[in-house]
Amino acid sequence: MSRYQTFVFLIIFHLIHHSSFGCLEEEKQSLIELKGSFNDPSLRFSSWEGNDCCKWKGISCSNITNHVVKIDLRNPCYPKKGEDYQQNCSFSKYKLESQYIHPSLSKFKYLTYLDLSGNNFNSSPIPTWFNSINQLQYLSLSDSHFSGMIPNDLGNLTKLYFLDLSFNSWLHSDDIYWVSKLSLLQNLYMSDVFLGKWVLVTWTDKEIKHILQNCYKALPAGGKVIACEPVLPENSDDSHRTRALLEGDIFVMTIYRAKGKHRTEEQFKQLGISAGFNLFKSFHVDYFYTVLEFQK
């Protein structure tokens, strides 16, 4: 047998031998830690026994490396996008409950799919260490009682094509530029998430276009991007509103970010059109702020 054939044989033998033992011990222990962090009234973790965690419900492993690549703990009564709620399925009964997302999840470096939707994390924040799971392609945390600031580090999950943070009413973000880093994103759901004010005025036209383009790609037909921004009048006058807006424009450029600036409604509309949004509405909420609606 040649040296090359021996090398190939050893690789094949290693893969077969490796896969025959099921999941990796370190990842199995991390799953046990994760399980222990939940209150599980409906015994959803009842299958999490035995040595091969790849056979546990909600867990999938790579056929080659046996690394855990999928963790699906979605509430079985919580419908996926486009589906209806199941009749006679008790949503509250099947909720897993935890005080926070257990850091054992950060050990799954090869994880590509994570779904924790429809559970209860008791108003805990989305952990900043999420960016360490940088192989993630699918992340759903919908309707799971998260709160606090959305970590900008989610922008480092550059392989994401699906992101759902919807229906977490106490989540908020004052800076959504991180979305522009997710160039592969195809589906983005942020319903009921407060995105704050003064989000777009701090960015250049090029940066805003990039943000809106990624949102456009991820939104379904009819989906909307809604922002609350100070908007300059088309024609300057001596009114209190105009003076306040112009002073705010100077503040943004000199104190907050030199490249940022206030814009008129028409300028915002044209930025939306350049990103693909042909429908635009604006609503004045007070003398300073205007709600901008870009619809796909």
What pLDDT, on a 0 to 100 scale, did the predictor assign at position 193? 66
> Residue 8: what pLDDT?
47
CATH topology of domain 1-196: 3.80.10
* Residue 279: its H or E element: strand 279-284
The H or E element spanning position 241 is: helix 240-251
Asked if 42 and 94 count as a contact pair (C-beta separation under 8 A), the reply is yes
Task: Give the pLDDT confidence score for residue 178 in this predicted structure.
Answer: 83
Query: What's the confidence (pLDDT) of residue 100?
Result: 96
- Please state the domain extents for the chain: 1-196, 198-296
CATH 3.40.50.150 for domain 198-296, yes or no, is yes
C-alpha 36 chain-centroid distance: 25
Spatial neighbors of 243 by CB under 8 A, at least 6 apart, are none
What's the Cα-to-Cα distance from 239 to each of 232, 233, 243, 266, rounded to whole Å?
Answer: 12, 11, 6, 20
β partners of residue 187: 162
Report the 10 Å Cβ neighbour count for 241.
15
Place of tokens 């040595």: 51
User: How confident is the chain (296 residues) per 10-residue block, as mean pLDDT?
Assistant: 50 45 89 97 94 95 95 94 81 94 96 97 94 95 92 93 88 78 85 66 84 82 82 72 60 57 89 94 75 87
Give the pLDDT of residue 219.
78
Residue position matching structure tokens 């090359």: 4
Looking at residue 259, its pLDDT comes to: 66
